Chain A
Amino acid sequence: MARVDAGLRHETVIGLEVHVQLSTASKMFCGCAVAFGAPPNTRTCPVCLGLPGSLPVLNRRAVDLGIRTALALGCHINPVSQFHRKNYYYPDLPKNYQISQYEYKDHPPLASGGLMRVSTGDEVMEIGIRRVHLEEDTGKLVHAEGRSLVDYNRCGTPLMEVVTEPDLHSPEEARLFLIHLRAMLQFAEVTSGRLEEGTLRCDANLSLRPAGGPHGTRTEIKNMNSLRSVERALRFEEARQRQALERGEEVVQETRHWDEDREVTFSSREKEEAQDYRYFPEPDLTPLQIDAPWVDRIRAGLPELPEARRRRFVEAFGIPEHDAGLLTATRAMAEFFEETVRRFVKPKIVSNWLIGDVAAYLNAAGREIEELPLRPDHLAGLLMLVDTGKLSGRSAKEVLEEMLRTGRPADAIVQERGLVQISDEAMLAAVVQEVIVEHPGPVGDVRAGKDQAVTFLVGQVMKKTRGRANPAMVNRLVREQLGVA
């Protein structure tokens, strides 16, 4: 009994470390191009390979993006920050140290002490941002046929790390935070935020503690590569720790990896607590000095962030709060919405279609809107056809589905399938006449005052016209011809 109570009283504490690949043209410390999917080892130079004698030169653009993020997260930007070496041996780390920013007394990271607000329905979560710092990425090991090969293309790719305070209290909150952080980073044009390309990677610290009590022992969970896996991994880990505590066992401080296929976290054999990175200031780089004019210049060029855009959607377009939230969940969706509205000036209708049929399709396919072949001008074209009565709503759904799959414009599909809505009154009146003749029973029902029989007759007209008849017009014609209008 006591055990069950103990379990219920535990509170979950989660902190996240989010690695963000910055949208720069070149690498963090050299001029090599950042390119996803290039043939192995074709995007390297002496610097990113760490060849003897080579020296790093800081990419100012990466610092710009770091400052941008820091501003968007309300962080304090440290006027002088220092790069450090994190020493450890690994074959994909050419220098056997990684250049990063470590927090050590008089050596602060790029930015510290920010806050992110995430609205969850009626509530607003506040998540502290401990720090934002810059570092370089490692290469990649490829294991094939019993051999291990190294691809150094990714070496030196600019990364930014956003570290939260342990202010998250459930896996669901962690996921929500990540969605909002990603949107924010996308809106600030700091990253593409494409998880499948590894532009966003996340590690998490999770512990349980008696409600209001001191922090419990935490574990670090790595290798979560999608929003879904973050939530699932944390849920698994939360349950695992709770069970351990309920059994009276101790939680071991360790690093655990998320196994996507088996849906479990497992202890990685390396003893992380024994790992000594021997951080010290990187002597090949002078301290990074950021003066007020630099920050002001970045602030002046900061694009509209999700919160501001959400408000604008509500105010300028009359979109409900909830819908505006969905439309600004990703930068691509918000852009898509605005682009469409620019061509078809009925925002609420555009919004309905996007958060309705389009979002449903995206969810089912597990994809992002920018990955679809659908274009804003095509969607606007479709809505125009509906609006002018040339296409029925029902047909429009059918057309949209093909547009989502193929990216073809609406009118071409409509033409091809012969879906143009029939609003020719004389023509429809003739079809209505036919239906009345063919269905004396329901006609009698209508005349006897059973109004739902009208719906049946309208349905028959739709059937005869293969759904192309203008339903409102058919409804009116049926009633007129039967004298029940």
Chain B
Amino acid sequence: MSALADLTACDLRAKFRRGETSPTEVVRAVFERIDAEDGRLHAYLYLDRDAALAEAARWDAVVRGEDAPPLAGIPVALKDNICTRHSPTTCGSRILAGFRSPYDATVVTRLRRSGAIIVGKANCDEFAMGSSTENSAYGPTRNPWDETRVPGGTSGGPTAAVAAGEATLALGSDTGGSIRQPAAFCGVVGMKPTYGRVSRYGLVAFASSLDQIGPIARSVVDAALLLEAIAGQDPADSTSADVEVPAYADGLITSLRGMRLGIVKEFFAEGLDAGVAAAVREAIETCRALGAACEEVSLPHASYALPAYYIIAPAEASSNLARYAGVQYGHRTADAPDLVTLYSRTRREGFGAEVKRRIMLGTYALSAGYYEAFYLRALRVRTRIRQDFDAAFERFDALVGPVTPTSAFRLGEKVDDPLQMYLSDVYTVPLNLAGLPGISVPCGFVGGLPVGLQVVGRAFGEQTILNVAHAFEQATEFHTRRPPRGRAARGASAAKRAP
């Protein structure tokens, strides 16, 4: 049975069609894996076994038919900053304890329509701020490859779930690398689509101009399938783009002949772990062998991306998070004598240190007198970075480089050093500032820990980077490796309650 939990969505679809298994069996297998592993990994914050099984039963007969919806019967985990109707959405924060959204996010509606079965809500850094999932108010998630290490952040929960077979697919959100970085750390495929490709309606905002929901999967084909299901313009999100959604999975190719790949010079600079560098360089050689023309390219303003990001993202966050004040929902402090005290105590009690740090940063950056020096200057940097990419894409079809400077670090290693922690996202952040799509695909191991290759594309050029990642994946075996399993199911949480 347990093998079912490790299969890809594509494999499951084939088995469904042949009548070799059913959604009910698959969902059972996934919950068995959760029972066995999640006490150790803590990938989930909330599970709804009954609802998932009921959904699965609905699809049991349907999945054998030719016209079954694309994700019918496939178990999917959702990062807990994506709203699901009537079940908890906490964003890993105490301040949203007890909150139940009255509506489904657009991606959730689209998933349900595609037949996907929602297993539960997965752990994340509080309000998607961090690089290790240690900032969750409900405790950290552990890396399935080594439980002393972090799974990456902020989509650590959903990514660990996919890596460990606790879900077949997952949706995360990526504001500065929060899908690609944990995907690299956990050895799975993670993609940040172009800004505007996927509706943000129902994604609890961290930094509105940077956030994007994206797929996490165990293969590129699966990621393509999941992206297809959720992408496309949404009238409820004015920033979602009216650009046609291709049949990504059908369009995948295995040769890179004629493809021009740019190797981002600045991503191989100081701070890059030698083992990671070697794995990524080897991956580039593989791409060359597959027919790609690879050449170095410079993004001269890349080094300003992180500072600009740490102005823009906190500025938007300080405003987006103002609504958590104890008036309408979520945590409210007890017995505040007046309104200002109600606000300040509620927020002091409800938010963790990293969130407070960024709210203060952002409030400062937007304040009268500092706005021009910080916020507007950061916007100008953003424009320059975008122009760097534009120039690069005049010569190249896609850019390649590492996802992260190191492989997964130890729990607690950087938690007291925010600046060190921020550096984890140094190669991922530029894409968010430019709004471009990027994918992380497993490309090797260093000391038993996975390493990811990042492929960056033009705006709405998801097909191209999926193609590169797919060709690479098919030519290598890294994606077939599975993390070790826990020795015993310790404190398995069969029916997790809402925090």
Spell out A's residues near B (CB within 8 Å). Answer: 46, 49-58, 85, 87, 89, 91, 94-97, 150, 276, 278-280, 283-286
Residues of chain B within 8 A of A96, CB atoms compared? 322-323, 325
Contact A58 B238 (CB under 8 A): yes
In the complex, whether B375 has a CB less than 8 A from a CB of chain A is yes
Please tell me if the beta carbons of A55 and B91 are within 8 angstroms of each other in the complex: no
Nearest opposing residue in chain B for A275, CB measure: B368
Known: A55-B237, A55-B238, A284-B238. A87 touches B319 (CB 8 A): yes
A50, A54, A276: residue with the most chain B Cβ atoms closer than 10 Å:
A54
Q: Is the CB of B327 within 8 A of A91?
A: yes
Chain A proximity of B331: nearest CB distance (Å): 13
Contact call A52/B239, Cβ cutoff below 8 A: no
Q: A53: which of B204, B235, B318, B367 is its contact (CB, 8 Å)?
A: B204
The distance in angstroms between the C-alpha atoms of A56 and B103, with both chains bound, is: 15
Determine the residue in chain A with the shortest Cβ distance to B103: A46
Report the bound CA distance from A97 to B322 in whole Å: 8
Contact A95 B205 (CB under 8 A): no
Assess the A55–B201 pair: CB atoms within 8 A: yes
CB distance from A44 to the nearest CB of B (A): 10
Q: Considering only CB atoms, which chain A residue lies closest to B91 in the complex?
A: A52
B327 touches A56 (CB 8 A): no
Q: Is there a chain A Cβ closer than 8 Å to B333's Cβ?
A: no
Q: A51 to B343, alpha carbons, bound, how many Å?
A: 17
Q: Nearest-CB distance from A276 to chain B (Å)? A: 5
Chain B residues within an 8 Å CB radius of A279:
366
Q: Nearest CB to that of A282 among chain B residues?
A: B208
* B87-100 interface code vs A (CB 8 A; 1 in, 0 out): 00101000010010
Q: Is the CB of B238 within 8 A of A278?
A: no
- Interface-central residue, B101, B319, B329, B368, by most chain A CB under 10 Å: B319
Decide: A50 and B238 in contact? CB cutoff 8 A. no
B residues in contact with A91, CB < 8 Å:
327, 339
Beta-carbon contacts under 8 Å, B361-389 to A: 363, 366-368, 371, 375
Chain B 290-333 interface residues, beta-carbon cutoff 8 Å to A: 315-316, 318-319, 322-323, 325, 327-329
Task: Tell me whether B105 is interfacial, beta carbon within 8 Å.
Answer: yes
Chain A residues contacting B316 (CB-CB under 8 Å) are 280, 283
Contact call B200/A280, Cβ cutoff below 8 A: no
Q: Please tell me if B83 contacts chain A, counting CB pairs below 8 Å.
A: yes
Residue pair A278, B204 in contact (C-beta under 8 Å): no
Q: Is B19 an interface residue (CB 8 A)?
A: no
From A52, A58, A276, give the contact of B368 (CB < 8 A): A276
Chain B interface SS verdict (over half): loop
Chain B residues within 8 Å of A284, by CB: 205, 208, 238-239
Chain A residues, CB < 8 A from B315: 280
* Cβ contacts under 8 Å, B367 to chain A: 276, 278
Instruction: Kindly state whether residue B202 has any CB partner on chain A within 8 Å.
Output: yes
A residues near B89, Cβ cutoff 8 Å: 52-53
Using a CB–CB distance below 8 Å, which chain B residues touch chain A?
Answer: 81-83, 89, 91, 96, 99, 101-103, 105, 200-205, 207-209, 235-239, 315-316, 318-319, 322-323, 325, 327-329, 339, 343, 363, 366-368, 371, 375
Provide 19 A-B residue pairs closer than 8 Å at the C-beta atoms, listed in order of the A residue: A50-B328, A51-B102, A51-B328, A53-B81, A53-B203, A53-B205, A55-B237, A55-B238, A57-B238, A89-B325, A89-B343, A91-B339, A276-B368, A278-B319, A280-B315, A280-B371, A283-B207, A284-B208, A285-B238
CB–CB A280/B366 < 8 A: yes
Give the Cβ gap from B431 to chain A, nearest Cβ, in Å: 17
Contact A283 B208 (CB under 8 A): yes
Other than A52-B91, A55-B236, give 4 A-B pairs with Cβ distance below 8 A: A49-B328, A52-B96, A53-B202, A95-B322
Name the distance in Å between A141's Cβ and chain B's nearest Cβ. 10
A53 touches B323 (CB 8 A): no
CA gap between A45 and B328 in the complex, in Å: 13
Give the chain B neighbours of A280 by CB distance below 8 A: 315-316, 319, 366, 371, 375
Closest 6 CB pairs of A and B: A96-B322, A283-B208, A278-B366, A283-B209, A53-B202, A52-B204
| With A49-B328, A52-B91, A55-B201 as contacts: A87 and B238 at CB distance below 8 Å | no
CB B496 to nearest CB in A, in angstroms, measures 21
CB-CB under 8 A from A285, the residues of chain B are 238-239
Which residues on A sit within 8 Å (CB–CB) of B325?
89, 96
Give the residue among B89, B205, B363 with the most A Cβ atoms within 10 A: B205
- Least distance between A91 CB and chain B CB atoms (Å): 5
Q: Which residues of chain B are within 8 angstroms of A276 by Cβ–Cβ distance?
A: 367-368
B351 to chain A minimum Cβ distance, whole angstroms, is: 14
Q: Is the CB of A51 within 8 A of B319?
A: no
Point out the residues of chain A lying under 8 angstroms from B322, CB to CB.
87, 89, 95-97
A280 to B328 Cα, complex, angstroms: 24
Q: How far is the CB of A342 from chain B (nearest CB, A)?
A: 44
Minimal Cβ-Cβ distance residue in A for B105:
A53
With a CB–CB cut-off of 8 A, which chain B residues contact A150? Answer: 327
List, in ascending order, chain A residues with CB within 8 A of B366's CB.
87, 278-280
* Alpha-carbon separation in the docked complex, A178 to B101 (Å): 44
B200 contacts across to A, CB distance below 8 A: 55
Residues of B within 8 A of A50 (CB): 323, 328
Q: Which of B82, B89, B327 has the most CB of A within 10 A?
A: B327
Q: Which of B202, B239, B322, B366 has the most CB of A within 10 A?
A: B322
* Distance of A72 Cα from B339 Cα, bound (Å): 43
* A52 and B371 contacting across the interface, CB-CB below 8 Å: no
Contact status B363-A278, CB under 8 Å: yes
A280 and B315 CA atoms in complex are apart in Å by 9
Among the interface residues A50, A276, A284, A285, which one has the most CB atoms of the partner chain B within 10 A? A284
Q: Is the CB of A57 within 8 A of B236?
A: yes
Asked whether, in the complex, the Cβ of B201 is within 8 Å of the Cβ of A54, the reply is: yes
Residue of A nearest to B372 (CB): A105
* A268 shortest CB reach to chain B, Å: 15
**A276 vs B366: C-alpha distance when bound (angstroms):** 9
Question: With the chains together, A283 CA to B435 CA distance in Å?
Answer: 13
- Is the beta-carbon distance between A286 and B238 smaller than 8 angstroms? yes
| Cross-chain contact A52 with B99 (CB below 8 angstroms) | yes
Q: Give the docked Cα–Cα distance between A144 and B435 (Å).
A: 49
* Cβ–Cβ contact A56 & B201, under 8 A: no
- Which residues of A lie under 8 Å from residue B201 when comparing CB positions? 53-55
